[in-house]
Amino acid sequence: MVVGVPLNEETTHLIDDSFLSRMQDGSLLVNIARGRVADTEAVLAHAQSGRLRFALDVTDPEPLPDGHPLFALSNVLISPHVGGATSAALPRLAKLLRHQIERMQDGEEPLNVVLRT
Question: Can you tell me the mean pLDDT for 25-37?
Answer: 96
Q: What is the pLDDT of residue 37?
A: 98
Catalytic residue among 10, 22, 81, 102: 81
62 belongs to the catalytic site: yes
Catalytic residue among 41, 62, 102, 108: 62
Decide if pLDDT at 115 tops 70.
no
Q: What is the pLDDT of residue 116?
A: 62
Q: What angle do CA 6, 39, 10 make, to 5 degrees?
A: 40
Q: State the pLDDT confidence band at 113, using cuts at 50, 70 and 90.
A: confident
Q: State the pLDDT confidence band at 30, using cuts at 50, 70 and 90.
A: very high
Answer whether 46's CB lies under 8 Å from 52's CB: yes
Burial class (CB in 10 A: 0-12, 13-18, 19+), 117: exposed
Question: Can you tell me the mean pLDDT for 15-31?
Answer: 97
The model's pLDDT over 51-97, given as tens digits with 9 standing for 90+, comes to 999 999 999 999 899 999 999 999 999 988 776 677 888 898 899 99
Q: State the pLDDT confidence band at 45, using cuts at 50, 70 and 90.
A: very high
